[in-house]
Structure 1
Amino acid sequence: MDVNSYLLVLVGFVLLFLCGNWLVRGGVELSRHFHVSPLVAGLTVVAFGTSAPELFVSVKAVFTESPDISIGNVVGSNIANIGLILGAVAIIFPLAVRKPSILNDWLVMILSYALLFLFLINEVLEFYEGLIFVFLIAGYIVLSVWSSRKHSAKSVEVFPDPTMKILPAVGLVIVAVLGLYFGADWLVKGASDLAIGWGVSERVVGISIVAFGTSVPELATSLAAALKKEMDISIGNIIGSNIFNVFSILGVTAILKPLQVSPRVISSDMIWMTVVAVLLLLFMLPLRNGVISRWKGALLLLFYIVYIWVLFVS
């Protein structure tokens, strides 16, 4: 291991951060050109854009014989999204919860965790299980769009004007996808070398360093939403991203190549992932007037810090 490993990880982080945001921006601009509603754009373009780094990293890892980085990236990102990102945002901007419907999204997230645990009992995520995940994420998107349209049927749909011409928007998306590919490639290679050099498992590096790097777009999106006082978007983005991580990222990865999973992921990491999700629900209560206050955010952040400490010392 040499300085090149650290440079690969650093450059990979930067590319994933920049290109994840470029993909969201370019995709939203294209949706405006084609008069796709903000709702549909949010559920598809934005959700996929913020989860794209995890997808590229997981697919790259499984094809370079680093499956623990692939699964650890997703599980670690889901823990970081709630513990690190939502906790940090709540410390800066207490998050108000005004939509009881967010419980439905939380239940879908828990369902994705339960199915993942069930599918991984044999320590392999099979091709057909990946197909089930992909069908479920498609159904989730369709039902979310239908439900929102039903509740806003009497309102007039507003299509924001694009701020970028169509060709630059297409170019931005293409550049973002290429950047995500190379960013994922370099991050996985650098992280694998670091694991060898530090004498720790690829699972530990995947759950900590790689997961943090791929969660940066969610951090940027949640902070931006909180700054605009769109608190439900901030919380909803995190829950939606976690659902996408399990259903779409692991689903697509398993379809491309069955995913071998370390027993420690099932017996330890997934338990931590579920516990922090339950903490989030408790902290959101009551759902109509709940507030994730600064002290709750501090507890979520402390939970994440303790988890990373246990990860490295165990």
Structure 2
Amino acid sequence: MDNILFLVSFVMLFFGGELLVRSSVALALRMRISTLVVGMTVVSFVTSSPELFVSIKSALNGLTDITFGNVIGSNIANITLVLGLTAIVFRINITKQTIKINFPVMFLAFILFGSVLYLFGEINLITGIVFVLLLIVFTLFLIKRSREEHTQLSDEDKEKYEKARKTPLVQSILYMLVGIMLLMYGSEFLVNGVQSIARLFEWDDRIVSVSLVAIGTSLPELATSLVAAFRKESNLAIGNLIGSNIFNVLAVLGITSIIHPIEMMNENLFVDYLWMMTSVLILGLFIYVFSKKQVSRTEGLLLLIFYIVFMFFLF
């Protein structure tokens, strides 16, 4: 029964994240927040909501390896699997903001996460508060920067604002509530399913969380980025992925540790962290050194191969 619920949980997390994305973007546009900020903050946050719900549920159950494994595995999946597939579909162009601000902030967030993990072996209440405060400062900075650079609305933004205004407010709120419910129950089914599969194949929670759980919670990012690629909106695709990775570290780990301290029980998780850092360094080489200001189809394929190699060594 748990195995069936495990499969059902993927569907619930996917549709829960999708409903939350639609409703959150519609509400944000109603408040006339620019699409740039919506993509980097609102969409990134809601596509990271499955990771948040799964991490909180795992921590409350004392399964902190799932919490860490979920975040690390999801970040690796976002950089290599999701971005790799997206770049194969359509070459990803990199904006100046991504080069100068977003990517460096993601890299620094990863370094901060690893430093705390290495020095203390856990993320406690105080560290969690610091993580969340850093996220708030970064978000406010993005909003301020967006308002300074986009004083005039583009025709595309005006069209999106008008479309959002026509969407009934009750509908957006209802979608948001249904999405949250699907995420809550989906995360519970997923955590229970992970324990069952781990017992069945005699795998530890870390392996299942870094692989299966991470892929499951990355489904919203995959769906959003692929749709953006097909629509040739590469800015949304790369912005969503980098934003999601920042939120995974600062929001998911930060909020979870405020609710319940997260202690690293399995030292192999630090090996997984090194894989994550390797993936972000490779992406950095693609952006800054090899094919500047873009991720080509060939580089997308290399990122995908990296993920396959990571899975091979994991199991």
TM-score band (shorter)? over 0.9
Alpha-carbon deviation of 1:44? Answer: 3.3
SS of the equivalent of 1:247 reads: helix
Residue in structure 1 matched with residue 162 of structure 2 by the alignment:
160
The answer to whether structure 1 residue 246 and structure 2 residue 258 are counterparts is: no
Matches of residues 200-279 of structure 1 in structure 2 within 5 Å? 200-261=203-264, 262-266=266-270, 268-279=271-282
Residue in structure 2 matched with residue 32 of structure 1 by the alignment:
29
Instruction: State the distance in 2 between where 1:128 and 1:238 align.
Output: 27
Instruction: State the distance in 1 between where 2:77 and 2:288 align.
Output: 21
Q: Is the 8 A contact 2:110 2:249 kept in 1?
A: yes
Return the match for 1:6 from 3, 7, 20: 3
Alpha-carbon deviation of 1:195? Answer: 0.7
Alpha-carbon deviation of 1:152? Answer: 2.1
The answer to whether structure 1 residue 56 and structure 2 residue 53 are counterparts is: yes
User: What is the one-letter code of the residue matched to 2:96?
Assistant: P
Alpha-carbon deviation of 1:210? Answer: 0.2
Extract unaligned runs of 5+ from structure 2: none
How big is the alpha-carbon RMSD for the aligned residues of Structure 1 and Structure 2? 1.7
Aligned positions, number? 307
Matches of residues 28-107 of structure 1 in structure 2 within 5 Å? 28-97=25-94, 99-103=95-99, 104-107=101-104
Return the match for 2:114 from 97, 100, 117: 117
Percent identity over the alignment is 39
Residue in structure 1 matched with residue 146 of structure 2 by the alignment:
148
Alpha-carbon deviation of 1:264? Answer: 1.4
Residue in structure 2 matched with residue 134 of structure 1 by the alignment:
132
Q: Note the alpha carbon deviations across 1:200-259, whole angstroms, 9 max, x for none.
A: 110000000000000000001101111111112211211110000000000000000110
Instruction: State the distance in 2 between where 1:291 and 1:43 align.
Output: 18
Q: Is the 8 A contact 2:40 2:240 kept in 1?
A: no
Counterparts in 2 of 1:288 and 1:105: CA distance versus 1, 3 Å: farther
User: What is the one-letter code of the residue matched to 1:219?
Assistant: L
Q: Is the 8 A contact 1:33 1:166 kept in 2?
A: no
Return the match for 1:186 from 172, 186, 189: 189
242-251 or 88-97: bigger deviation: 88-97
Q: Is the 8 A contact 1:123 1:263 kept in 2?
A: no
SS of the equivalent of 2:163 reads: coil
User: What is the one-letter code of the residue matched to 2:274?
Assistant: I
User: What is the one-letter code of the residue matched to 1:64?
Assistant: N
Alpha-carbon deviation of 1:287? Answer: 9.7
SS of the equivalent of 2:162 reads: coil
Q: Is the 8 A contact 1:32 1:161 kept in 2?
A: no
- TM-score, length-scaled by structure 2: 0.93
Extract unaligned runs of 5+ from structure 1: none
Instruction: State the distance in 1 between where 2:96 and 2:40 align.
Output: 18
Q: Note the alpha carbon deviations across 1:263-293, whole angstroms, 9 max, x for none.
A: 2112x11111011101111112369953322
Alpha-carbon deviation of 1:36? Answer: 3.5
Q: Note the alpha carbon deviations across 1:29-88, whole angstroms, 9 max, x for none.
A: 222334343334333321111000000000001111211111100000000001101111
Instruction: State the distance in 2 between where 1:131 and 1:63 align.
Output: 18
User: What is the one-letter code of the residue matched to 1:176?
Assistant: G
- TM-score, length-scaled by structure 1: 0.93
